[in-house]
Amino acid sequence: MTMSSALPTEQRRKWEHFPHDADVGLRGWGATPAEAFEQAACALMAVVTQAEVNPKIAVRLKCQAPDLELLFVEWLNAIIYEMAVRNMLFGRFLVRIENDRLEGTLWGEPVDVERHAPACEPKGATYTALRVAKDTDGRWSAACIVDV
C-alpha cells in the first residue's frame, strides 16, 4: 500500500486547533492519511507562530510505528525534535506512508524571534484524543493533543 499526496501543503488550510484545558489539540484533514498528517503538521507549526515560515531548507526524516495512530504521534514528535535541535520552524510538509513507515520532508528556516514571535514551544505529542480515521464524508482526519 502506498499513499502520498500529490501536492505540498501551502495555501490549503485543512487543519484546526481544538481546545484542551492546559494544552492544545491539533487536527488535520486530507484525501489520504498522508495529507491529513501534513495538514496536522501545519496545525502544529501554527501553535508556535502565525507568521509566514519560508521554505528555505529541506529536512528529511523517517519514522515507523505499529499502527497509523502511533505513526501520527511519531511524525509530530519527529518534527518537534527537528525544530528543537535545529532551532528551525517549518512551513511546508510532504509525507509518504508505506505500510508502517513514514518518510517526510519538512521545509523551513531558522527561527527569527522578531519576525516569527514564537508564542510557545511544543514539548511532545500525546496519545490523548488521538484519532486517525476515515470520516463518514470519505476524508481522513488525524488528531491528538500536544503538550506545550
Partner 1 sequence: MDPARFTRVDGTTWRVEPSGTMRVPVIIYADENLIQDMDDKVLEQAANVARLPGIVQASYVMPDAHWGYGFPIGGVAAFDPDRGGVISAGGVGFDISCGVRTMLTGLSVADILPVQKQLADSLFHQIPAGVGSESAITLEAAEMEAMLARGAHWAVARGWGEMRDLERIEEQGRMAGARPDFVSDRAKERQRREMGTLGSGNHYLEVQAVAEIFDRVVADTFGLVQDGVVVTVHCGSRGLGHQIGTEFLKEMVVTAKEAGIDLPDRELACAPINSEVGQRYLGAMRAAINCALANREILGHYVRRVFAHFFPDKQLRLLFDVSHNTCKVERHLADGKRRDLFVHRKGATRAFGPEHESLPAALRPVGQPVLIGGSMGTGSYVLAGEATSEAKAFSSACHGAGRALSRHAALKQWSGRKIVDDLASQGILIRSPSTRGVAEEAPGAYKDVGAVVAAAEHAGLARSVARLRPLICVKG
- Given the rule CB under 8 A, which residues bind partner 1? 17-24, 48, 50, 65-66, 70, 73-74, 77, 80-81, 83-85, 87, 89, 111-113, 116-121, 123-128, 130, 145, 147-148
- At 17, phi and psi to the nearest 5? -100, 140
**What is the smallest separation between the CB atom of 66 and partner 1, expressed in angstroms?**
8
Q: In which region does residue 132 sit, left (phi positive, over 0), alpha (psi from -120 to 50) or beta (all else)?
A: beta
Q: Rounded to the nearest whole angstrom, what is the least distance from the CB of residue 53 to partner 1 in the complex?
A: 12
Unique residue bearing C-alpha cell 511524525: 75
Nearer to partner 1 among residue 50 and residue 99 (C-beta): 50
Let me know if 121 is exposed, middle or buried by CB neighbors in 10 A (0-12, 13-18, 19+).
exposed
- Residue 55 or 118 with smaller CB distance to partner 1: 118
Residue 89 or 95 having the CB closest to partner 1: 89
Integer Rg of the chain from CA: 14
Q: How far is the CB of 120 from partner 1 (least distance, A)?
A: 5
**The C-alpha cell that represents 141 in the structure block:** 482526519
57 vs 81, beta carbon nearer partner 1: 81
